[in-house]
Amino acid sequence: MLFCIIMKTIIEPFRIKAVEPIKFTTETERNHILQEAGYNPFLIKAEDIIIDLLTDSGTSAMSAKQWAGIMDGDESYAGSRSFYRFEEMVRLITGMKFIIPTHQGRAAEKILFSIVGEHGKVIPNNTHFDTTRANIEFAGAEAVDLLNEAGKHPEIIADFKGNMDIEKLEAFIQERGVEHIPLVMVTVTNNSGGGQPVSMQNIKDIRAVCDQYGLPLFIDACRFAENAYFIKKREQGYADRSILSICQEMFSYADGMTMSAKKDALVNIGGFLAMNNQELAMQCRNVLIVTEGFPTYGGLAGRDLEAMAQGLEEILDESYLHYRIRSVEYLGDKLLAAGVPIIEPTGGHAIYIDAKRFCQHIPSYQFPGQAVSVALYQKGGVRACEIGSVMFGKYDENQQLIPPPMELVRLAIPRRVYTQSHIDYVAEVIIEVFQNRNSLKGYQIVYEAPMLRHFTARFAPLA
Ligand SMILES: Cc1ncc(COP(=O)(O)O)c(C=O)c1O
Confidence (pTM): 0.94
Cα 374 to averaged position of ligand 1 atoms, centre (Å): 23
- H runs (alpha helix) in 351-448: 355-358, 368-380, 389-392, 420-435
Give tens-digit pLDDT for 128-156: 998 999 999 999 999 999 999 999 998 89
Report the pLDDT averaged over residues 422-444: 97
What is residue 406's predicted lDDT score, i.e. its pLDDT?
87
**Rounded CA separation 454/444 (Å):** 13
Number of CB atoms found within 10 A of residue 20's CB = 6
Return the ligand 1 atom nearest residue 271 CA.
Answer: 10
Report the pLDDT averaged over residues 13-30: 96
Return the ligand 1 atom nearest residue 262 CA.
Answer: 10
What is residue 451's predicted lDDT score, i.e. its pLDDT?
82
Q: If you write DSSP's letter for every residue of 113-156 in order, what string do you get?
A: HHHH--TT-EEEESS--HHHHHHHHHTT-EEEE-B-GGGG-TT-
Cα 271 to averaged position of ligand 1 atoms, centre (Å): 9
What are residue 220's DSSP bridge partners?
A: 187, 258
Report the pLDDT averaged over residues 391-410: 91
| Residue whose CB lies within 8 A of the most ligand 1 atoms, among 53, 136, 191, 268, for a mutation test | 191
What is residue 463's predicted lDDT score, i.e. its pLDDT?
85
Return the ligand 1 atom nearest residue 107 CA.
Answer: 11
Nearest to 392, CA basis, from 165, 131, 118, 187:
131
Cα 6 to averaged position of ligand 1 atoms, centre (Å): 36
Strand 256-260 to strand 271-275: parallel, antiparallel, or no bridges (unpaired)?
A: antiparallel
Give tens-digit pLDDT for 159-185: 999 999 999 999 999 999 999 999 999
What is residue 73's predicted lDDT score, i.e. its pLDDT?
97
Nearest to 125, CA basis, from 235, 263, 1, 217:
217
Long-range Cβ contacts of 11-14 (<8 Å, 24+ apart): 11/323, 12/323, 12/416, 12/419, 13/317, 13/319, 13/320, 13/323, 14/63, 14/416
Return the ligand 1 atom nearest residue 223 CA.
Answer: 1
Strand 217-220 to strand 256-260: parallel, antiparallel, or no bridges (unpaired)?
A: parallel
Return the ligand 1 atom nearest residue 187 CA.
Answer: 1
Is the pLDDT score of 310 beyond 50?
Answer: yes
What is residue 450's predicted lDDT score, i.e. its pLDDT?
87
What is residue 3's predicted lDDT score, i.e. its pLDDT?
47
DSSP code, position 45: -
- H runs (alpha helix) in 318-396: 318-337, 355-358, 368-380, 389-392
Query: Percent of the chain beyond pLDDT 70?
Result: 99
As separate numbers, helices (DSSP H) first and strands (DSSP E) second, the chain gives 17, 16
**Rounded CA separation 239/133 (Å):** 34
Give tens-digit pLDDT for 337-371: 999 999 999 999 999 999 999 999 999 999 999 99
Cβ < 6 A, ligand 1 pocket: 57, 104-106, 129, 131-132, 187, 191, 220, 222, 260, 262, 271
Q: How far is Cα of residue 90 from the mean position of the Cα atoms in its chain?
A: 19
What is residue 315's predicted lDDT score, i.e. its pLDDT?
98
Give tens-digit pLDDT for 199-249: 999 999 999 999 999 999 999 999 999 999 999 999 999 999 999 999 999
What is residue 355's predicted lDDT score, i.e. its pLDDT?
97
Contacts of 15 (CB under 8 A, 6+ apart): none
Cα 80 to averaged position of ligand 1 atoms, centre (Å): 26
What is residue 6's predicted lDDT score, i.e. its pLDDT?
66
Cα 131 to averaged position of ligand 1 atoms, centre (Å): 7
What is residue 1's predicted lDDT score, i.e. its pLDDT?
47
Tell me the three state secondary structure of residue 312: helix
Contacts of 193 (CB under 8 A, 6+ apart): 126, 127, 147, 151, 152, 161, 162, 406
Tell me the three state secondary structure of residue 106: helix
Is the pLDDT score of 405 beyond 90?
Answer: no
| Residue whose CB lies within 8 A of the most ligand 1 atoms, among 187, 263, 300, 391, for a mutation test | 263
Phi, psi at 51, each rounded to 5°: -125, 120
